Amino acid sequence: MQPFHQILRGLAARLIPAIVLVVVASISPKALAFTTVTAFGSTLNLPNSLPTGTIISRYTIPLSQLCGAASSCQVSRVTLFPNGGYTTAPGPLVTTNVSGISTRLLVNGQPVTEFSSNGSNFLIVNSPLEVQLLRDARPLSAGSLAGVHGGDPAYYWLCLPGKTCDAWNGGLAINLAATVRLVNGTCSTPDQSVALPSMVLYKFKGVGSTGDQSGTKGFDLRFNNCPPGFARVGYTLTPIGGPLPALAGALPVAGGSTAKGVAIQITGTNGTPATFNQSFPLSAYNSSTGGSYTIPMNARYIQTESTVTPGTISGMMSVLVDYQ
């Protein structure tokens, strides 16, 4: 799950003769047997303040679990069972037996709804399946996701053509497991802005040039008052705005910027460009005690075009904090 915490609200800069930067084919179904997959398992530690609509967790099911060795296969029927019970629902959102948590199944990257072939139209599956857990509008509670009947008939059935849709014939059944445990609170991540020192234009030597160390400013990602009890706390750096520059760690140039040929790059303290849109563990987090933590980072200029012209430049970055 990934609550949104915006942490670097503004990155802004001014380029003058010296720059002032403010970082303000189908497979025969006869070859396949019915397969059962259990998604998630173990324990899910969730903040009790989790907002409605949050994607709590994702579980990927390899295509081979449904299609065998084939690169795609046909599905004749998709059935969704709310609460893991005997009744069905159109979907795509299906309630679980744990209040406050629903699930959906993504087929070919899209949420699937109840489907039944008329004998000539089939659902072609050509990519891994993804099961998601989402926070719904019901009061959030703890409990087991195993379903009201303990996994029989499961939450999802995908049936292959020419087969009866049951546990003895070709297809895929998807169960849910995991015990949901609620943790009181989340980490707080305050907004901040970072002002870079000025830098003269002649220090840029070509695309990818970062000038010199005088144009670098350190800052900390802050994770305050993290409660104990989570198995893992992670964070994801997410650029905000237009298209990303081609250079690693460079933020999009925000609207209102007038400088050309330069961007703001986020790095680690060793100068390695930051990786965006990937969750990293907050390794210092202590599950027994919780606490407040910092991750030191740097912001610096980076030349993105052959010519740098003076003006102002700005950009933004956010942090997504995830909990397990």
Residues 69 and 176 in one domain: yes
CA distances, 228 to each of 5, 184, 232, 284, 291 (Å): 19, 8, 10, 12, 8
Whether residues 219 and 259 share a domain: the answer is yes
> Which pLDDT belongs to residue 33?
52
Residue 312 predicted with pLDDT over 70: yes
Q: Are 304 and 208 part of one and the same domain?
A: yes
pLDDT of 40: 85
Q: Is 34 within a domain?
A: no
How high is the pLDDT of residue 282?
94
Q: How confident is the model at residue 55 (pLDDT cuts 50, 70, 90)?
A: confident
Q: pLDDT digits over 5-21, tens only?
A: 443 443 444 333 333 33
| DSSP secondary structure of 152-186 | SS-SEEEE-TTS-SSTTSSEEEEEE--EEEEES--
**Do 260 and 279 fall into the same domain?**
yes
β-bridge partners, 265: 250, 300
In a domain, 36, yes or no: no
Structural domain count, the chain:
2
Domain end residue (candidates: 157, 183, 209) = 183
Taking the C-alpha atoms of residue 236 and residue 243, their distance in angstroms, rounded to an integer, is 18
Same domain, 111 and 201: no
Predicted local confidence at residue 62, as pLDDT: 92
pLDDT at residue 152, rounded to an integer? 61
Cis-peptide into 197, omega within 30 deg: no
Phi, psi of 214 (to 5 degrees): -65, -20
Do 115 and 149 lie in one domain? The reply is yes
Question: What is d(CA 247, CA 263) in angstroms, rounded to the nearest whole number?
Answer: 9
The candidate with the shortest Cα–Cα distance to 78, out of 106, 105, 39, 114, is: 114
Question: Which run of H or E residues covers position 67?
Answer: helix 64-67
Pairing of strands 4-15, 192-200: parallel
The tens digit of pLDDT for each residue in 159-181 reads 888 766 655 457 888 999 888 98
Query: Residues 159, 284: one domain?
Result: no
Mean pLDDT for 249-264 is 85
Domain end among 183, 203, 235: 183
Q: Which CATH number fits the domain that encloses residue 314?
A: 2.60.40.1090
Q: Which domain holds residue 306?
A: 4-24+185-323
Tell whether 296 and 197 lie within a shared domain. Answer: yes
- The runs of H, that is alpha helices, within the chain are 64-67
Q: What is the pLDDT of residue 255?
A: 78
- Tell me: the pLDDT tens digits for 191-236? 888 888 887 788 888 888 887 888 888 999 999 999 999 989 999 9
Element (DSSP H or E) covering residue 262: strand 262-268
